[in-house]
Amino acid sequence: MAKVFAIANQKGGVGKTTTCINLAASLVATRRRVLLIDLDPQGNATMGSGVDKHNLEHSVLDVLTGQCDLIEAMQFSEHGGYQLLPSNRDVTAAEVEMLEMDKRESRLRQALAPIRENYDYVLIDCPPSLSMLTINGLVASDGVIIPMQCEYFALEGLTDLIGSIQRIGQSLNPGLKIEGLLRTMFDPRINLANDVAGQLKAHFGDTLYETVIPRNVRLAEAPSHGMPALAYDKSSTGANAYLALAGELVRRQRKAAKAIA
């Protein structure tokens, strides 16, 4: 049964989509079966996976509104090696259509249920807002991975996000937890970045991933070529950082499974 993780942060530009694409590809490199779900109407994870968002027969909109099942809408990312549920600007309409539907907050969870056993990991790229789309992503998930930059305003936004996750956990998804915090676009030469990283470590302890994603040109260039950094330049520091993150994620899951057993 797949572990489902929402990649979420209400602040934009923190590396959510970059993390989704590159973590998915890195998990595939460790021989895991991966599904990436693009819930963001911008469709950046779709384009970054090498799929044209302007030429979709089906998208996550059709899945959420019951016009097709998830398998019908999926596409394969050739460079990433994972399955993709794509998105584009049409998905904005899902917000309106779902308002009239029963159990609108759990539409994605229902759609995922029949195929969860086909995957080891499902990663959900959430929009940078607490919309009905993001709520669907959180309700469908076992945990939340929070990418964030080590900046002052990021700490303020983190407090709001944690509050949102707790409220959804209390009312709609009791099993939801924060899986981990990920430092992205990290530059160790900046004193503030190191100060914020220290505060995160002191406050969140083991919830903070040891892996740090650096600022990296190749990592930034890869999406414009429709591929993860691992396919674009596997020797880059960005590609290697996400491979390390995949390894850390797998080890955490293995440790958690042993603790339950």
Using DSSP's 3-state secondary structure scheme, residue 96 falls into: helix
Residue showing tokens 């979420």: 8
Grade residue 261 by pLDDT with cuts at 50, 70 and 90: low
We report the CATH number of the domain holding residue 73 as 3.40.50.300
**Maximum alpha-carbon separation in the chain:** 51
Q: What is the mean pLDDT of residues 141-158?
A: 85
Into how many domains does the chain fold? 1
Tell me, yes or no, if the pTM score tops 0.75. yes
Range list of H helices, 49-151: 60-64, 70-73, 92-98, 107-112, 132-139
Encoding tokens for residue 124? 């959900």
**Distance between CA atoms of residues 151 and 133, nearest Å:** 27
Per-residue pLDDT tens digits for 49-78: 999 999 999 999 999 999 999 999 999 999
Separation of alpha carbons 12 and 33, rounded Å: 28
Which residues span the domain enclosing 98?
3-260
Provide the pLDDT confidence category of residue 256 given band limits of 50, 70 and 90: confident
